[in-house]
Amino acid sequence: MATHCCDQMTRQVELVCDQHPDRHDCPDCLVEYSPELREYGLLIHDGGTSSLTIFFCPWCGVRLPTSLRNEWFTELERRGIDPWTDEVPTEFRSSAWWEARRI
């Protein structure tokens, strides 16, 4: 489990709503954390699953960790995996791939 910058960020990314099984449908869920990309985003409540990447915590102001989105795609490409059409290995669906490399 990831350690976040402050208690409020932890509450936000771990918020589970008993009325909305999908966090993207819940107006109380504001922030998502993508462990495989080490990326935080503000949820866009427009009926989809979009988010807007953020670089600083809205509550404590700390700079958030650098996203590993480019490295994730680069590593999959290096292995000959197309994440849009191929099955993504289990390690790349969590933080395991970058934690093992201590990125």
Residues 49 and 73 in one domain: no
- Dump pLDDT digits (tens) for 45-102: 998 889 999 999 999 999 999 999 999 999 999 999 999 999 999 999 999 999 988 8
If one counts the domains in the chain, the total is: 2
CA distance 18 to 21: 7
Please report whether residue 78 resides in a domain: yes
Take residue 21 and report the two structure tokens written for it. Answer: 């099984």
In this structure, the chain runs to a length of 103
pTM recorded for the entire structure? 0.87
Please report whether residue 1 resides in a domain: no
> Which helix (H) or strand (E) element contains residue 52?
strand 51-54
